[in-house]
Amino acid sequence: MSDASASSTETTRIVIGIDLGTTNSLAAVRAGKTPRVLRDLDADPLTPSMVCLHPDGRTLVGAEAKALRLEHPERTVFSVKRLIGRSASECHSDVVNLPYQVIAGERDLPRIKIGDLELSPEAISAMVLKHIKATAELALGHSVREVVVTVPAWFDDAQRQATKDAAALAGLECLRILNEPTAAALAYGLDGNNDGTVLVYDLGGGTFDVSILRIKDGIFRVLATKGDTHLGGDDFDQLLAQRILNLLPSKKGSEDPYVLQAVLSAAEGLKMRLSEHDEATLELDLGDHGEVQLTVTRAEFEAAIAPLVQRTLDCVKSAARDAGLELSQIDDIVLVGGSTRVPLVRNRLEALTGKPPHTEIDPDQAVALGAAIQADILAGNDKSLLLLDVIPLSLGIETLGGTVQKLILRNSTIPTSVSEEFSTGVDDQTTVELAIYQGERELSKDCRLLGEFKLRGIPPLPAGLPRVLVTFLVDADGVLRVTAREQRTGIEASIQIVPTFGLTRDEVRRMMIESIEHAQDDYIAREEIEARAKAEAMVRGTKKALQIAELPPDQTFAVHKAVKALQKLLDADAEPNALKSASDDLTKVTTTIADDVISAAVTKALKEEQQQ
């Protein structure tokens, strides 16, 4: 009886998946083999990601907020996903055409100002998540606590952490942050029989991602990912909205929150109609700002959005290169996000890949369904699937001379851990400063600094002798933790790297382009810096060690000869290969010295301790 009761308790653990979208959000659950979307009382699976802070004090979320966006445009918040985890200055171009006010708060953090209130993007997102939570609890008939929340694959550490913070504010425990394209691939592989290579094209309201996965025997392995956190259906709407604003008799219309909200709403409607028809007509009365009558053909709309669509296709080609595949080797194309309903998107993608995309799964629901599958796996109810995701950009540590030693390469599978041993560059150095960088270039000045910390208490030994083991650990959410440990003493220091705001799209694009353009120059510069730094450290360390160690005359002569040869090459600015060869020769004849120095240091430390 007790065994049966325990088994029943174990099987009742329910973890739901939530797709927190720019335009719409929804939740799903898997209880059994097939996931299902959790619907509200109106049987609508989609909840608009909108919050209206009504003048009477009420907080309205979802459809109720959307219904008030024209009545209270300056108090109705939407597209907040584009602000989360970023600085106010980075968000400047996103907020220009918003009807509500966004200001720069403390530490340049964006704050949504409504009346006397100043709210963070995390707080607004938490209101949406809390509404989704209530919808799920109503549909399931019991409380919900544990969730899996999805984010764009190209979200950086700060944006992922901000999303987790929003979940916590909503009273939810986020077990996993899951990349949206990966979630969609899980939904695509529902029956477990779809082995092959899959390209997931995810064009939502505010972000774009493309991921290439290999599915085999229930293992979902991400081969490569690429994306743009500043590209989505909202940008299509903005192009149409600008065309409408240009037709207004009053040029002050773009400064009126009511006009902005009405125009954005009309633009969204035009876009949706143009996905079904060859042309669409708009008649819009904006009161004192005038009336607008406009007919837009699909051809005109497609010509306007073509550059944006091309940006997504460039990401597709880049992801295929990173995965080491030709597009012809992709078995299936999966569409995710409401913006993939735009005919030009589907047609251009099919023309590029040579394959018609799958449309049997609702693109608005695929991410939530996949998140539900991952949630069920984390709940311990399904052990048949394994999900292996990746990080988007390389991570490394700054070394002597300003180079970056990459420990984790971009598109590495996570979770992952990599360790590498380093040493000091100055005699008797007792503190090491570690600087963590992200990017694809060889020199630290060309990469993005993520964080810094110090390891103190290193034994005062000649340069090159201390052994500092640096470990990079990236967890399943893509959050980096760096640990440094001095191997002889066991002293340790660590830091969890969460960038203040993260990388912007332009920075990512610049890093990737420059890494290709300057690859050869970077490699040569790095080789020269590292070879010279190592040679100089060896000369200094060996000279210092010779003052301590007692060696036979013949061995002393050999060491002096090797040091002199290496110093001569340094003075002559010799090529890296020559410096490496001479450094190796010196290493061979100084093995005994290293052992003697370490013994002497230990003996000295013991004597000092006894004297105390």
d(CA 113, CA 109): 12
Nearest in space to 285 (alpha carbons), one of 242, 340, 244: 244
Question: What is the token pair recorded at 472?
Answer: 């990079």
% of the chain beyond a pLDDT of 90: 28
* Biggest alpha carbon–alpha carbon distance for the chain: 100
Q: Is the dihedral of CA 11, 14, 15, 20 positive or negative?
A: positive
Question: What is the token pair recorded at 51?
Answer: 């919050």
Which residue's entry shows tokens 């290293």? 594
Q: Which CATH number fits domain 395-503: 3.30.410.10, 2.60.34.10, 3.10.20.740, 3.40.47.10?
A: 2.60.34.10
Burial (Cβ within 10 Å: 0-12, 13-18, ≥19) of residue 355 = middle
Beta carbons of 194 and 224 less than 8 angstroms apart:
no
| pLDDT computed for residue 308 by the predictor | 95
List the 117-119 sheet strands across, edge first. 101-104, 110-114, 117-119
d(CA 177, CA 166): 12
| pLDDT computed for residue 190 by the predictor | 47
Fold classification of 507-611 is: Substrate Binding Domain Of Dnak; Chain:A; Domain 2 (1.20.1270)
Please report, as a single letter, which amino acid is at residue 371: A
Fold classification of 12-232+305-388 is: Nucleotidyltransferase; domain 5 (3.30.420)
CA 62, distance to chain mean position in Å, is 27
| pLDDT computed for residue 221 by the predictor | 83
Which residue's entry shows tokens 């940008």? 235
Report the length, in residues, of the chain.
612
Nearest in space to 174 (alpha carbons), one of 15, 391, 294: 15
Euclidean distance between the first and the last CA atom of the chain, given in angstroms as a whole number: 66
| pLDDT computed for residue 3 by the predictor | 44
Beta carbons of 205 and 161 less than 8 angstroms apart:
no
d(CA 484, CA 470): 4
Question: What is the token pair recorded at 585?
Answer: 């020769």
pLDDT, tens digit, 9 for 90 and up, residues 182-197: 888 888 774 455 678 9
Beta strands in 23-145 (DSSP E): 24-30, 35-38, 47-48, 51-53, 59-61, 76-77, 101-104, 110-114, 117-119
In the chain, where are the structural domains located?
Answer: 12-232+305-388, 233-304, 395-503, 507-611
Class of domain 233-304: alpha beta
Nearest in space to 208 (alpha carbons), one of 61, 312, 123, 361: 312
Nearest in space to 328 (alpha carbons), one of 355, 310, 308, 295: 355
Catalytic residues: 19, 81, 180, 202
Beta bridge partners, 494, equal: 483
| pLDDT computed for residue 369 by the predictor | 94
Write out residues in the chain with pLDDT < 70, as ranges: 1-12, 190-194, 250-254, 384-388, 477-478, 495-516, 519, 522-523, 526, 548-550, 592-612
| pLDDT computed for residue 2 by the predictor | 40
pLDDT, tens digit, 9 for 90 and up, residues 14-68: 899 999 998 899 999 998 778 999 988 778 889 999 999 999 888 999 999 999 9
d(CA 297, CA 303): 10
Nearest in space to 566 (alpha carbons), one of 549, 545, 547, 587: 587
Beta carbons of 276 and 318 less than 8 angstroms apart:
no
d(CA 255, CA 50): 21
